[in-house]
Amino acid sequence: MKPMLSPRAVLGAFLALLLVAPLVMPPFYVTLLNYIGLYALVALGLVLLTGVGGLTSFGQAAFVGLGAYTTAVLTTATDLPAWLAWAGGSPWLALVVGLVFTATVALVLGSLTLRLSGHYLPLGTIAWGISLYFLFGTLETLGGHTGLTGVPPIAVFGYELTDGSQIFYLIWAFLLSAVLTTQNLLDSREGRAIRALKGGMVMAEAMGVNTARSRMVIFVIAALHACASGWLYAHMQRFVNPTPFGLHIGIEYLFMAVVGGAGHVWGALLGAGVITVAKQWLQDILPRLFGQSGNFEVIFFGLMMIVILQRARDGLWPLVARLVPVRATRRKLDAAAEPLPRKALPARGEVILEAKEVTRKFGGLVANNNMSLTVRAGEIMALIGPNGAGKSTMFNQMSGVDTPTSGEVLFLGRPVAGRGSREIARMGMSRTFQHVKLLPTMSVLENVAIGAHLRGDKGVFPSAWRLDRAEEARLLNEAARQIERVGLAEHMFDAAGSLALGQQRILEIARALAADPCLLLLDEPAAGLRFKEKQALAELLRKLRGEGMGILLVEHDMDFVMGLVDRIVVMEFGEKIAEGLPEEVQQNPAVLEAYLGGVE
Ligand code: ADP
Ligand code: MG
């Protein structure tokens, strides 16, 4: 076995190197490191936005420009309007103004673009990226294409950072705090919601996550990182012009994040480092090689990108991480954490879900016709029928995903129609999916913890600064408790994607349970399971029923349902053809006809 290094020791060694770097390196290299730090700060925002959140932005350079121009104007202007005069002359006050201004712009741009899906979102970011760039070059007060000069240095405790080797420490302090807070954020309730955005939006909403809010959160955070980078840049260069804030630089930032490893916070630093050094090196060497000057590095650079994206789709960080064997930090569970409060379950036998004469038409097709049914606390109700009978449509009416053409569905006496899946989850109805929806690279524990999302309330700032640990311990404890309850304890820390299908289905039930529901809706939970897995599932459902849970099961598999459930409603062609105890339904001629003579 290879000796493993502790993450603390590696970080400590890295800090020590940074500390001495400006003392021993020639100024040229210190400047290079400064640029790497500035670029990495922007790329880090993109790791969060694009790599983790799946939202591609080509427009980050414009936010860098906002930060740079705000501080340049505020620290050089001699005739600021009265309402802004307080912020004049001080880089630190200008940083505050810049951050607030950038957050405002990001909120506006975000509310316009984040709703766009597919390739429209990146196109949207290109559009505003170009607009802001031309705004910088056009506005008279910003100095047009020549820009603004005479930007003062930043002072820290009265000590002016005039030299590259001095601002070096400030740049890297910003970068390292950004990396560490981002790392903290991702490892929290808020972070799990963010990590669910890529590929798990429907699931996340059903677990009570406000995905629109999470998208906006990472968009604003990424913009703020870019703004801080621009602020540092302006005071390092001591002048600003529009050139470094154009679209092609925005593309380069995206390259940095992707090449470094867009899913990893340290990948931002690696990507910024590799690309900055490579460009510098190519700029030096290529003209000599070709014996004439020209922008050869851009051409080489493009080719290099294609090769890296071909060979290492997850970027370079995973490759580097393999070379330096850092011990993985596994989340420790704190068994002493106080349990989360639980809602009281309705009394056994009480009707909790009631569909009244529900009809759903799709154009001329009547998918559900005058369907009525009830589910009681402490019972398992099955809705069965051949393929195409209208079961999933009925499931959607009852879970609030779809609205009936006529009739209504009441959950705990309140209508379900018109409520979003988040609100329904909060009311105590929790569901699994016919096609399993998990986050395969996240651990079983983290997947189940998403189910407990609506039982916590700590947001971005407490998470970034680790002020959420008490709540986090309670949430993880709850997730662990549900994992034990369904019998997956030995897989607690495995990646969810590594489980067999049967176990993944059971994981979904644990996730639904973590929301503290009184009603479980399961759409074809036995589909694709082997005999043993079906038995384990049936046993779990019996146990939950015994604890007073109401369960509605949509099933196609008669055998699975027969020995398990209390009552059955049989559907065919959108209508109820039978209802009753399993034994009764099994003898019903209409049901036998539907199953034996039907679509099967
Ligand atoms: P089951 O789940 O019992 O197999 P479904 O509820 O999925 O059946 O489908 C019932 C009928 O409704 C089918 O004929 C299906 O084609 C139709 N249907 C379902 N959803 C829609 C939709 N969104 N638009 C049009 N037709 C639909
Ligand atoms: Mg179906």
pLDDT at position 2 is 58
Check if 598 has its Cβ closer than 6 Å to any atom of ligand 1. Answer: no
Closest ligand to residue 598's CA:
1
pLDDT at position 292 is 76
Q: How many CA atoms lie within 13 A of 571 on its CB side?
A: 29
pLDDT averages per 10-residue partition of the chain, 600 residues: 78 94 94 97 96 94 97 92 88 97 97 88 94 93 91 94 94 97 96 93 93 96 98 97 94 92 92 92 84 78 83 86 79 84 91 96 95 96 92 92 94 92 93 93 96 95 94 96 94 95 94 96 90 91 94 89 93 94 89 67
Cα 305 from chain centroid? 26
Please give the number of the atom of ligand 1 that sits closest to the Cα of 387: 4
Closest ligand to residue 385's CA:
1
pLDDT at position 200 is 87
Indicate if the alpha-carbon torsion angle 91, 93, 96, 101 is positive or negative.
negative
Closest ligand to residue 360's CA:
1
pLDDT at position 599 is 43
DSSP symbols for 174-218? HHHHHHHHHHHHHSSHHHHHHHTTTT-HHHHHHTT--HHHHHHHH
Please give the number of the atom of ligand 1 that sits closest to the Cα of 554: 2
Rounded CA separation 99/76 (Å)? 18
Helix 247-261, helix 27-46: angle, nearest 10? 80
Check if 360 has its Cβ closer than 6 Å to any atom of ligand 1. Answer: no
Query: Contact at 8 Å (CB) between 61 and 136?
Result: no
476: nearest Cα among 234, 176, 228, 188? 188
Closest ligand to residue 391's CA:
1
Rounded CA separation 116/372 (Å)? 38
308: nearest Cα among 344, 258, 358? 258
For a pocket test of ligand 1, which of 360, 362, 368, 371 has the largest count of ligand atoms closer than 8 A to its C-beta?
A: 362
The encoded tokens of residue 221 equal 């955070």
Query: Contact at 8 Å (CB) between 353 and 408?
Result: no
Q: How far is the CA of 391 from the centre of ligand 1 (A)?
A: 8
Q: Name the one residue in this structure whose structure tokens are 């000069």.
A: 149
User: Strands, DSSP E only, in 363-512?
Assistant: 365-376, 380-384, 406-411, 414-415, 429-431
Q: How many CA atoms lie within 13 A of 10 on its CB side?
A: 12
pLDDT at position 308 is 82
Count Cβ atoms below 10 Å from residue 366 Cβ, excluding itself: 17
Rounded CA separation 412/417 (Å)? 13
Q: What is the dihedral of CA 36, 40, 43, 45, to 10 degrees?
A: -150
Check if 365 has its Cβ closer than 6 Å to any atom of ligand 1. Answer: yes
Q: How far is the CA of 208 from the centre of ligand 1 (A)?
A: 26
In three-state secondary structure terms, 581 is coil
Check if 391 has its Cβ closer than 6 Å to any atom of ligand 1. Answer: yes
How far is the CA of 426 from the CAs of 208, 421, 454, in angstroms? 7, 9, 7
For a pocket test of ligand 1, which of 393, 405, 569 has the largest count of ligand atoms closer than 8 A to its C-beta?
A: 393
pLDDT at position 284 is 85
pLDDT at position 598 is 46
